[in-house]
Amino acid sequence: MIYNGGMKKVKKDFYSVTEVADLLGVTRQAIIDRIKRGTLETMRLGHVYMIPKSEADRVRAEKR
């Protein structure tokens, strides 16, 4: 859960590259490298990569 500007909890189904990097404690470039290697499932909206919450959770669990 994250908070939007009105301090309401908002459930996110997708995360940006930067958000996933912050969640995992790695650089944005490390996430982009994983996307290019095909080890991180993404959706592409134009030129923006979006990572499904389920995929971010999977990678986070692997890191533990």
The answer to the question of residue 6 being in a domain is: no
- Whether pTM > 0.75 for this model: the answer is yes
The answer to the question of residue 17 being in a domain is: yes
**Largest Cα–Cα distance in the chain?**
38
The answer to the question of residue 5 being in a domain is: no
The answer to the question of residue 37 being in a domain is: yes
The answer to the question of residue 38 being in a domain is: yes
Q: Is 14 left (phi over 0), alpha (psi -120 to 50) or beta?
A: beta
Q: How does pLDDT run along the chain (64 residues), one tens digit per residue?
A: 555 555 566 678 999 999 999 999 999 999 999 999 999 999 999 999 999 999 999 999 988 7
The answer to the question of residue 33 being in a domain is: yes
Number of structural domains found in the chain: 1
Determine the structural domain holding residue 46 and report its residue range: 12-63
Q: What is the CATH number of the domain that holds 29?
A: 1.10.1660.10
Measure the CA–CA gap between 48 and 12, rounded to whole angstroms.
Answer: 16
